[in-house]
Amino acid sequence: MDIQKIKASFQSHFGKDAYPYIFFSPGRINLIGEHTDYNLGYVCPAAIDKGIYVAISPNGTDTVNLFAMDQKDEPAVYSFDIRSGQLPALRWAKYIYGATMETVGNGVNVKGYDALITGDLPDGAGLSSSAALVCAFLFALDSLFGTGNTDRFTLARMGQAVEHKYLGLKCGIMDQFASLHGKKDNLILLDCRSLEYDYIPINTKGFRLVMLNTCVKHALGTEYNERRQSCENGVAALKKVYPAIESLRDATVEQIDSVKDSLSETDYRRSKYVIQEDNRVLETRSALNEGNMQQLGDILYAGHDGESKWFEISCAESDFLVQIAKECGVTGARQMGGGFGGCVINLVKEELYDNFIKTAQKLFADRFGHQILVYPISVGQGTCRLA
């Protein structure tokens, strides 16, 4: 995006004398590993070159004034007093309020500020726009009002706390971690228990990674928390027989099968999916290290099958796009993100790319009456100050 245009928009809204600092926080893809993060398992995300841009300037008061330039579902302008302790009514403003309060709780003397929010990251597409928004503000507020030296582990934890405490979403830490720790042309293999991580170079020569957005917007809430509860139920059943198990990450397929009769069918299937998905993440590391793109594609298809039939977080539109991918000879595809819509990630051979996109666009529109959106993926850097 054009930084000068963002500055000009800020000054048009808040006043010509205002000089904003510009911060960027990326969205993320997660190549494999859905709903494994809060089960203390493994994930394989990467930051992308699309994200949230924040133009921000202290205003010398205790009032925060916000302008969400791209907001269409709710009012785009909102203000709150830092000292009021009152949670905003607008959903998008809750994220910023939460980031502000968590920064205060981290010992930073945050004062009032004016901020414009924009970006090129589609909301509700499974690219973690909310995590990008929160991380942009956490990083910006620490830079402007604190020392700017808060480590990124701590910022990721604070971002997770925003979702838990102010939005009621018991998410894991992957989205915030990926947004803050992204490295160009590298995936991140993250152990969500220890928070140890490795960068894995991704070499897709001869292939393209592309997101197809179903435009089925998802706002996670009850369904997400229900699945987390199913996983906790699975752990509770396992611990009765295998006391050393602390999370599904510790269990094997054979162990969850052995306690099947003590679980509801839903809890069993969801728990088994998580165990299998953890295994797929580790298999992905091997495939990438060996440059075995066919194996990687098979892992992606298996991941979608688990999402759709076992964890039940897919939707008709995502299932349809994955089926088209198979019919077009795409190496691998799966729905990405928390579920119930959003984007399908595809690993496509260069020579098949144009025909696949054209076919998917036509068949999807014929079936569902609206167009998909196409996002070629570039793996990029993490949260940073741009100006």
Domain coordinates of the chain in residue numbers? 3-202
Please say whether the beta carbons of 162 and 95 come within 8 A.
Answer: yes
Position 286 pLDDT exceeds 70: yes
Q: Which residue in the list 123, 142, 175, 267 is annotated as catalytic?
A: 175
Please say whether the beta carbons of 44 and 32 come within 8 A.
Answer: yes
Question: Which of 124-128, 252-256, 311-315 has the least mean pLDDT?
Answer: 124-128
Position 195 pLDDT exceeds 70: yes
**Residue 116 or residue 73, greater confidence:** 116
SS3 label, residue 212: strand
Nearest to 19 by CA among 83, 113, 151: 113
SS3 label, residue 73: coil
Q: Across residues 310-314, what is the average pLDDT?
A: 95
pLDDT band at 124 (very low <50, low <70, confident <90, very high): low
Distance CA 340, CA 364 (A): 17
Distance CA 361, CA 154 (A): 42
Q: What integer pLDDT is reported at residue 219 of this predicted model?
A: 60
Active-site annotation holds for 261: no
Position 16 pLDDT exceeds 90: no
SS3 label, residue 107: coil
**How is residue 191 written in tokens?**
């152990």
Q: What integer pLDDT is reported at residue 282 of this predicted model?
A: 96
Q: What integer pLDDT is reported at residue 25 of this predicted model?
A: 98
Of all residues in the chain, what percent carry a pLDDT higher than 70?
98
b/e burial code for range 63-100 (CB count within 10 A of at least 16 → b): bbbbbbbebeeeebebebebeeeeebebebbbbbbbbb
User: pLDDT tens, 161-183?
Assistant: 999 999 998 888 889 999 999 99
pLDDT band at 108 (very low <50, low <70, confident <90, very high): very high
Distance CA 25, CA 132 (A): 5
Q: What integer pLDDT is reported at residue 217 of this predicted model?
A: 75
Around Cβ 285, how many Cβ atoms within 10 Å?
A: 16
Q: What integer pLDDT is reported at residue 340 of this predicted model?
A: 82
pLDDT band at 355 (very low <50, low <70, confident <90, very high): very high
DSSP string, 35-64: S-TTTT-EE-EEEEEEEEEEEEEE-SSSEE
Distance CA 210, CA 207 (A): 10
**What angle, rounded to 10 degrees, do the helices at 152-162 and 91-105 form?**
130
Nearest to 35 by CA among 253, 377, 312, 341: 312
Position 348 pLDDT exceeds 90: yes
DSSP string, 78-117: EEEETTS----SSHHHHHHHHHHHHHHHTT-----EEEEE
Distance CA 273, CA 258 (A): 15
Q: What integer pLDDT is reported at residue 77 of this predicted model?
A: 97
Q: How far is CA 260 from CA 15, 243, 257, 365, in A?
A: 63, 16, 5, 41
pLDDT band at 28 (very low <50, low <70, confident <90, very high): very high
pTM for this structure? 0.87
Nearest to 56 by CA among 48, 64, 46: 64
Q: What integer pLDDT is reported at residue 14 of this predicted model?
A: 96
Distance CA 173, CA 38 (A): 7
Distance CA 268, CA 275 (A): 11
pLDDT band at 128 (very low <50, low <70, confident <90, very high): confident
Backbone torsions φ then ψ of 91, nearest 5 degrees: -60, -45
Position 215 pLDDT exceeds 70: yes
- Under CATH, which architecture does the 3-202 domain have? 2-Layer Sandwich (3.30)
Q: What's the chain's average pLDDT?
A: 94
Distance CA 274, CA 41 (A): 9
Position 132 pLDDT exceeds 90: yes
DSSP, res 211: E
Tell me the H-state helices in the chain: 3-14, 91-105, 129-145, 152-162, 174-181, 222-241, 253-258, 265-290, 293-309, 316-327, 350-368
- Counting Cα atoms < 13 Å in the Cβ hemisphere of 329 gives 8
